Amino acid sequence: MGVSFDKVDGFIWFDGRLVPWKDANVHVLTHGLHYASCVFEGERAYGGKIFKSKEHSERLKASANMLDFEIPFSVAEIVAAKQLVIDTNNLPDGYVRPVAWRGSEMMGVAAQANTIHLAIAAWAWPSYFDPAERLKGIRIDLAQFRRPDPKTIPALAKASGLYMICTIEKHKAERKGYADAMMLDWEGRVAECTGANIFFIRDGKIHTPIADCFLAGITRATVIELARRRRIEVVERRIWPEEIDGFTECFITGSAAEVTPVSEIAQWRFTPGTISEQLMLDYTAEVQSKGRAVAA
């Protein structure tokens, strides 16, 4: 295990200014801790440039609105603050975590008078999965918890409370020797993994679940665009578990996972092939070219 995250050297942007990492703290009675009134983003910088920083900042603001609060900084201010964190901490290739939450003025379900805080941290973080494991395809378990009905929770927000069942399922999967777990939706259809979107391939076409009860990832949208540039058909549709036997390839996407082939989901097996590998290479080229363009 590396250094605890509360003991990292560097600076965190906190409510409009850079503070030493160790001083970026909140009170134990913060509403976001007790009632999950907290939203966040996961982003990566490549070559000194945060990939799709504006899109992530827009989604952060939208997620806060879904949780009935307004982040008191504009999209442009958030974009600039994230870049400042990358530059100040000298992290040309790093992971970026903006997080916004309700403060501690009121402690109870209702907290309309609470201050809304925003912090931005960044740290060095290599590929989410081991590189050698990633090339041969990771192993994924099938989760027991399901993504909730969007009528019961703001399912399209990137909100901390939505990840509770993800942590539970990822822990269970890791204890069984898997890298992650695939979750179904409330009706039993394929949804996503614990922190990544999922894609399947059959007969040269890519199939992926409709993202209407889980987060439609920014990496997901990028990979769909990259596939269509290569004239690979992408079908967004309902996918039932009994269909998985008919797919030959599978991969997952996310800012942390990037593009990672899958070799196994519970009893189903896949062989990472040309489409998965090509999109993995295309995504790497896409994010690195954006960083090089800025550096130039």
> How sure is the predictor about 3, in pLDDT bands with cuts at 50, 70 and 90?
confident
User: Considering just the CA atoms, what is the radius of gyration of the chain in Å?
Assistant: 19
- The domain in which residue 260 lies consists of 131-292
Res 294: pLDDT? 47
Is 2 within the bounds of a domain?
no
Q: What percent of the chain has pLDDT over 90?
A: 91
Res 278: pLDDT? 94
Are 158 and 84 members of one domain? Answer: no
**Residue 204: DSSP 8-state:** T
Model pLDDT for residues 16-62, shown as the tens digit of each residue: 999 999 999 999 999 999 999 999 999 999 999 999 999 999 999 99
Number of domains in the chain: 2
**Candidate from 1-5, 62-66, 101-105 with smallest mean pLDDT:** 1-5
**DSSP letters for 84-131:** HHHHHTT-SSEEEEEEEEE-SS--SS--TTPPEEEEEEEE----SS-H
Active site residue 22: no
How many C-beta atoms lie closer than 10 Å to residue 65's C-beta? 14
Are 95 and 148 members of one domain? Answer: no
Among 52, 82, 158, 290, the active-site one is 158
Is 3 within the bounds of a domain?
no
Indicate the average pLDDT of the chain.
94
Is 6 within the bounds of a domain?
no
Are 114 and 160 members of one domain? Answer: no
Taking each helix axis as running N to C, give the angle between helix 218-229 and helix 53-66, from 0 to 180 degrees, rounded to the nearest 10: 140
CATH label of the domain that carries residue 260: 3.20.10.10
Are 156 and 271 members of one domain? Answer: yes
Is residue 208 over pLDDT 50? Answer: yes
pTM above the 0.75 mark? yes
- C-alpha 106/C-alpha 67 separation (Å) is 16
Is 144 within the bounds of a domain?
yes
